[in-house]
Chains A and B, each alone.
Chain A
Amino acid sequence: MNDSTSRHQTSDPILGCVVGLLIIIGVVMVYSSSAVVAGEKYNDPYYFLKRQMLWVFIGFIALRITRSMDYRLLEKFAYPILFGAFLLLIAVMIPGLGKEVGGARRWLTLGGANFQPSEIAKIAIIIFIAKSLVKRSDQLKNFAYGYLPNVIVLGFFFVPILFQPDFGTALIIGVVALLMLFIAGIRTRFLAYSFLAVIPLVISAVTGAEYRMRRIFAFLDPWQDPSDTGFQAIQSFYAFGRGGIWGVGLGDGSQKLFYLPEAHTDFIFSVIGEELGFIGAVFIVILFGTFIWRGFAAALNAKDPFGAHVAVGITLLIGIQAFINMGVAIGLLPTKGLTLPFISMGGSSLVVLMMSAGVLLNISQHPVKK
């Protein structure tokens, strides 16, 4: 049984197929949704397509590396990774290094390419919490030793992320971290306390500015203000409405032309709904559902608890982000600037996502007889 030479390792083929399909659909949809805008702005309809393909290529290499590398190395290097991610977040705050786009300072520019350190922070925190849960597995019922260290680290990361400001990322990191803690058996009481502590902060932030509140609750009734706060939601509904069952056909959507903002990033799901119809949209939902299913399966079959926790974290991260993005597009959730994993146009974030998928595939490896 310990003779590993007689065994061959394969990662979950279903999981691999799902990720591959999502990425291919992404490339096609990024082109479809950006060609007209890119042609108008850069005089080059392939502008975003070319970039997306380049990032997919880089991401694929990253995926191959993380898939074949033993994930237990991550446990060993959890602290350096965490520290590095934190330094990058701090670097964004330094005026010369960080790049400000539309009032938010989220980007680092390196050799002409921009990347978002908060993407790396997400994965670094998942690795850290997984390691911490394994290390403290005997003391999870202990508030000071089992729970507090994790929360303190989270707090340290929230400061630069909220400074950017990037509420979407902070929210998703917080939710994923708490769900990971819960699954490991941290007392529900601790989690409840944390919630109670955060709620007043959230309420004061939201209600503090009336316009922010209107923007957040606009999704409940977008027709109240169709030309301003409700505009995106309504235009997205129109896209889905036009799509019907079979869609208007790839490339033939018209909502992306003038009405949908950020058609190739935040609202790419609406373009899918219009061009590929109910069938296409549900297919995407099923793909993400399958991803979650296989991700959890990988966690259950993991060789050690660290692998299980990391698998759960990555699955939750990608699943929740996909859920929020799709939920926004169809008017279930308030507008939040989160992209659709693997599909939205994205540079460094796509690479980090593919790296995470590689780790997940590595964890899913299980011995099979030759």
Chain B
Amino acid sequence: MSSFHRFNIESLDSLKGKIRIYAILAVISFLCLWMRIWYLQILKGDSFEELAKNNRMRMVSLAPFRGELKDRNEETLVGVRPSFNLYITPEDVENISETLDFLAETITFDRKLLNKAIKHTRSFKNILIKADVSREDVAFVEENKMRLPGIQIQAEPLRSYKYGNMAAHVFGYLGEISKNRLLEEEGDFYRSGDLVGKDGIEKIFESTLKGQKGLKEVEVDVSGRELAVLRRLPPVGGNVVTLTLDSILQQTAEKALSGVPGEPFSGALVLMKVKTGEILAAVSKPSFDPNLFAGGISRRNWRGLLFDEMHPLQNRVVQGQYPPGSIHKIVVALAGLEEGIVDEKTTFYCPGYYNLGRGKYRCWKRGGHGKVDIHKALKESCDVYFYNLGNKLGVDTIARYANQFGLGRLTGIPLFGEKPGLAPTEKWKLKSKGENWYPGETISASIGQGFNLVTPIQQAVLLAGVANNGTIVKPFLVKKIESLKGQLIQEFSPEIKIKGNISEKSLEIVRDGLRAVVNEDGGTGRRSRLPDIIVSGKTGTAQVVRMKSGDVPEEEDTPFLFRDHAWFAAFAPYDDPEIAISVLVEHGGHGGSAAAPIARKVLKKYFELYPPASKIQAEFSSTVN
């Protein structure tokens, strides 16, 4: 072997000699180890063992208070309150079943679940018997301490949603951290069983709301009871998140958006500032009580919410997609004006129906509207006018204008699961359905039926855009984040999403039509009228079942789930728009009768709270005179 030749004798000897040196060094080093271990374990073993016995320090982690959620006027909507939790330490109890029997005489709790927990947990650990017990129960336990060894009450912070169901979809809820999340998590904050935000603001702002855990070094006796606190690193509470919501308006909206008690009711409402996109109120019904989740939700309650046919966990404001109905006429009207197909003088004749090919499309008014210009078409929501206009525009042009107002796109509101809706095009249909677009479908699309889908938040953004010279703002929910001490950490400012290029003239014509909808005789939205503020809006009816040959059955005859959805969307005041609103009542029937009165109640409250400058001036001058 050639390598042996290169491995000459001299270097081999030197190698051997040096390895011997290393071996001796290794032996010396390892002897040192041996001696040191001997010293620690045998010579000093007893004294170290004695010291270790006194080693009764224990690190206890201290949970921080989760940050509060406040409304725009600094009212606390979501906070933390003490909850009295009942624990058992099995090791300290002589006869567990006897003790529990005695306890069960006064306090009800799940015995089976507890027995299972006791079996599966180390005996020196505390096991929760019942969370959030009443003050009477606390008194009972304290009075009978002698008969209840190993049973303790601990006051622990509990997330508390002040108004229960209110704005539950915005706040979200808490839940036990998932195993995957725990594995992904860097750092050492979370433990299995910790509660984290699972939806809404609670989830989005988890990292800022959670705070920092504290640490307590305590001296304990042999059985683990605390004797003294040696060192305390207090936890730091989470940051305070101030929302754009207005608590009073939110409550008004929650109350307004409700049906006859005892009957199913579902719907959504958004109230948004036109110029900034701040959301003042956002309601989705049916709702749920996030307090149910605050201490860890019971399996039964969770399943109840999850499998409820009315889907209370769904946030209809951003996740509910419905045909826009006649509200879409706003988009079609603007498209027609901008494309020069119609102007304010152009008229179409409405005999009550419209023929295209072999199809016959009805206007909602059987007798027809007669000669209709754009003002009347919007005011009375004449379908035939928009059939004519839509047919001339084509579906792709309608979609282009819809996109300009944020339809068919995410609004970007910081909530989970937002749906983009749909502004259909010929290409879209070919791609998703593999079919060509039929001209008849353009007719449906031009009155917002057929494939069109929008969310309630998109309708509000659309109306805000019309009110705000075509500029589309991004809706937002959080104004600022502050530390507990009030130090500003982050402030959120309005963002412009689409800088619209719709001419002021076209917008003016459409706005005037919307004013007429609410304020002129024959308008479909008259039930949203306010005495001293000019509201401008549009009603809509979203068909749930597509009608054949235009037979419109009477509402009362239709089963509830097949009834149409009622829409109303508006902005106000007409002269200097401040606020946009969109209301959806699922299966509510007509927008004018079901949705417009709800919007009225909310708008009325808004202008009571925030009177417009012009009105204040008017009142001022009247008092001076």
Contacts and interface: CB of A to CB of B under 8 A. Distances in A.
Interface of A: 2, 40-43, 100-101, 134, 137, 179, 182-185, 227, 235, 237-245, 255, 258-259, 273, 277-278, 281-282, 285, 288-289, 292-293, 296, 299-300, 303-306, 308, 312, 316, 319, 323, 326-327, 330-332
B41 A42 contact: no
Contact of B49 (A100, A242, A289, A331): A242
Nearest to B29: A323
B37 interface: yes
Contact of A323 (B11, B33, B49, B192): B33
A43 B48 contact: no
Interface string B16-45: 101100110011011011101110111011
Nearest to A41: B191
A241 B36 contact: no
A332 B26 contact: no
B47 interface: yes
Contacts of A101: 186
Contact of B59 (A137, A258, A299): A258
Contact of A327 (B4, B18, B33, B182): B33
Contacts of A227: 217, 231
A285 B191 CA distance: 36
Contacts of B6: 134, 137, 304-305
Q: 6 nearest interchain CB pairs?
A: A241-B48, A304-B3, A238-B52, A43-B192, A240-B40, A278-B41
B7 A183 contact: no
Contacts of B49: 238, 241-242, 244
Given A42-B179, A43-B193, A237 B19 contact: no
B38 to A, nearest CB: 7
A235 B59 CA distance: 14
A312 B29 CA distance: 17
A259 B55 contact: yes
B73 to A, nearest CB: 41
B34 A285 contact: yes
B545 interface: no
Contact of B23 (A137, A258, A292): A292
Contacts of A323: 29-30, 33
8 contacts: A240-B40, A241-B40, A242-B49, A242-B52, A258-B59, A293-B26, A299-B15, A300-B16
Which range holds the interface residue count of chain B? Answer: 35 or more
A50 to B, nearest CB: 13
Contacts of A306: 3
B505 interface: no
A319 B30 CA distance: 10
Given A41-B191, A41-B192, A242-B49, 16 more contacts: A41-B182, A42-B183, A100-B186, A137-B6, A183-B18, A183-B19, A241-B40, A241-B41, A243-B41, A258-B59, A273-B37, A273-B41, A282-B34, A285-B30, A304-B4, A312-B19
Contacts of A258: 57-59
Interface in B183-224: 183, 186, 191-193, 217
B55 A240 contact: no
B42 A245 contact: yes
A305 B8 CA distance: 9
Nearest to A277: B41
Contacts, number: 139
Given A278-B37, A300-B16, A242 B48 contact: yes
B52 A241 contact: yes
Nearest to B16: A300
B146 interface: no
B193 A185 contact: no
A282 B22 contact: no
A179 B55 CA distance: 43
B11 A241 contact: no
A244 B45 contact: yes
A299 B33 CA distance: 25
Contacts of B191: 40-41
Nearest to B10: A185
A332 B44 contact: no
A293 B23 contact: yes
A141 B29 CA distance: 30
B113 interface: no
A228 B30 CA distance: 29
B552 interface: no
A300 B19 CA distance: 8
Contacts of B47: 241
B41 A245 contact: yes
A292 to B, nearest CB: 5
A280 B334 CA distance: 86
Contacts of A288: 30
User: Which of B19, B52, B58 is packed against the most chain A CB atoms within 10 Å?
Assistant: B52
Nearest to B184: A112
Contacts of B18: 182-183
Nearest to A234: B51
B14 interface: yes
A299 B40 contact: no
Contacts of A239: 52
A331 B23 CA distance: 23
Given A42-B179, A305-B3, A305-B6, A185 B40 contact: no
A40 B40 CA distance: 31
Nearest to A304: B3
Nearest to A240: B40
Contact of B19 (A299, A331, A332): A299
A288 B34 CA distance: 12
Q: Which of the listed residues A184, A240, A296 has the most CB atoms from chain B within 10 Å of its own CB?
A: A240
Nearest to A134: B6
A41 B30 CA distance: 37
A289 B3 contact: no
A355 to B, nearest CB: 23
A292 B34 contact: no
A305 B7 contact: yes
Interface in B363-405: none
B609 interface: no
Contacts of A255: 52
